[in-house]
Amino acid sequence: MTQVQWQQLEAVVAAMDDAERQKLARMLHKRPDLQALDPSNPSLGLFADEPELIDEILEGVYEARQNHPLRAVE
């Protein structure tokens, strides 16, 4: 996160009322540690609570790859 992004985030949090800040704190407290899930690919941690969604996405990827190969072998 850049310094500018951090400052923007601080400004947004400062503008929140107490109820919003408490809600944010609860959300952050419940959030799993993404680095503990897979340090080589932290993006996958974003889907830790959605295994069915990942299965659907991968199924679509495999189907598209099978029906539309990237390279034609001749």
Domain spans in the chain, listed from the N-terminal domain onward: 1-31, 34-74
Structure confidence at residue 24 (pLDDT): 84
CB neighbours of residue 34 within 10 Å = 15
Q: Beta-carbon neighbour count of residue 27 at 10 Å?
A: 9
Q: What's the predicted TM-score (pTM) here?
A: 0.39
**Spacing of C-alpha 23 from chain mean position:** 19
Render pLDDT for 13-52 as a digit per residue (tens, 0 to 9): 899 898 888 888 888 777 655 555 555 666 666 777 777 8
Judged against a pLDDT cut of 70, whether residue 2 lies above it is answered with: yes
